[in-house]
């Protein structure tokens, strides 16, 4: 891992993510790219770039973003780090992954305050939009972490339909953090497997990527999301990892996504891996 991208809207939640990124960068010698998506209408962008007369509102917001960037990048916790600022005249968070590909980013770290109710159903959080579209792992931070460490890492899966590549990515992250991985399969009333069947499935799933520091856990709960959250609370996990299918459009509306629900509802850091 060499590069981290942190989207920012200059909120407290975004700065919490940047602080975590700074800790990772210092510990593992990484570069940080800080991204701000500037919400300016297309006709005002043309004004800024020289097409037609300059619109005062557009110039004002561009200068304001630059001032905020200067203030943010002067923070003490970024001293000595390789930090690059990116401003894009686009507020579509679904395009964040394209920017990551452009700069060969390995991990997205972003803050989230979550979403609930109708806002979650029809709008969702910006973090959810990135999780839904990114083929790069996304680490979602909810709170401030004075000392971000990952000792206990829950990797939740059905160990059946998930792509094994997501487990390889989780193992790489666990190796970097030197964390214990807690492999978790949640049994629900509508989808139940015996303990022996579940354990055999898990061992078959992980056999191609040797990793010795792990536990195997079968947990019963009324829903997969509740099972992951309750198990993680019981062991006081530092990080939850889960695969995402990246559903979009009408498929997402009717089927939902456990990973996106966790991003919205978990107070613990969540990292998602695209299947």
Share of the chain above pLDDT 70, in %: 80
pLDDT tens by residue, 68-91 = 888 888 899 999 999 998 888 766
Mean pLDDT of all residues in 112-136: 63
Is the distance from CB of 133 to CB of 103 less than 8 angstroms? no
The structural domains of the chain, ordered by start, are 3-141 (3.40.50.620), 152-274 (3.40.50.620)
The DSSP letter of residue 201 is H
Instruction: Among 18-32, 40-54, 120-134, name the one with the lowest average pLDDT.
Output: 40-54
- Note the pLDDT of residue 248: 46
Q: Which of 58 and 107 is assigned the larger pLDDT?
A: 107
Q: Backbone phi, then psi, for 272, in 5-degree steps?
A: -115, 145
pLDDT tens by residue, 93-103 = 667 888 999 99
CA distance 48 to 87: 13
pLDDT tens by residue, 139-190 = 999 899 999 999 999 999 988 866 788 899 999 999 999 999 999 999 998 8
Tokens of 94: 């679904």
Residue 162's Cα: distance from chain center in Å?
18
- This prediction has a pTM of 0.85
39 — pLDDT class (breaks 50, 70, 90): low
202 — pLDDT class (breaks 50, 70, 90): very high
Is the distance from CB of 7 to CB of 110 less than 8 angstroms? yes
Closest to 8 (Cα-Cα) out of 86, 107, 115, 120 = 86
Cβ burial of 210 (10 Å; 0-12, 13-18, 19+) is exposed
Cβ burial of 229 (10 Å; 0-12, 13-18, 19+) is buried
β-pairing, 239-244 vs 152-156, is parallel
Is residue 117 scored above 50 in pLDDT? no
234 — pLDDT class (breaks 50, 70, 90): very high
- Note the pLDDT of residue 33: 96
């Amino acid at each position: 891992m060499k590069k981290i991208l942190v989207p920012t809207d200059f909120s407290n939640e975004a700065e919490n993510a940047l602080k975590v990124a700074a800790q990772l960068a210092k510990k593992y010698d990484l570069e940080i790219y800080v991204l701000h998506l500037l919400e300016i209408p297309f006709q005002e962008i043309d004004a800024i770039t020289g097409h037609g007369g300059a619109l005062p509102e557009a110039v004002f917001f561009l200068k304001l973003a630059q001032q905020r960037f200067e203030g943010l990048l002067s923070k003490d916790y970024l001293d000595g780090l390789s930090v690059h600022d990116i401003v894009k005249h686009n507020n579509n968070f679904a395009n964040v992954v394209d920017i990551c590909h452009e700069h060969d980013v390995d991990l997205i770290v972003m803050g989230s305050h979550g979403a609930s109710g109708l806002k979650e159903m029809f709008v969702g959080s910006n973090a959810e939009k990135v999780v839904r579209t990114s083929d790069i792992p996304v680490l979602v931070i909810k709170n401030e972490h004075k000392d971000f460490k990952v000792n206990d890492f829950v990797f939740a899966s059905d160990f059946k339909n998930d792509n094994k590549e997501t487990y390889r990515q989780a193992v790489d992250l666990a190796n970097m953090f030197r964390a214990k991985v807690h492999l978790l399969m949640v049994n629900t009333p509508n989808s139940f497997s015996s303990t022996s069947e579940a354990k055999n499935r898990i061992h078959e799933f992980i056999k191609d990527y040797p990793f010795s520091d792990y536990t195997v856990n079968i947990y019963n709960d009324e829903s997969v999301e509740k099972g992951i959250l309750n198990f993680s609370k019981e062991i006081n996990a530092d990080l939850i990892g889960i695969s995402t299918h990246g559903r979009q459009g009408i498929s997402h509306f009717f089927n939902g996504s456990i990973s996106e629900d966790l991003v919205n509802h978990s107070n613990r850091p969540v990292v998602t891996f695209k299947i």
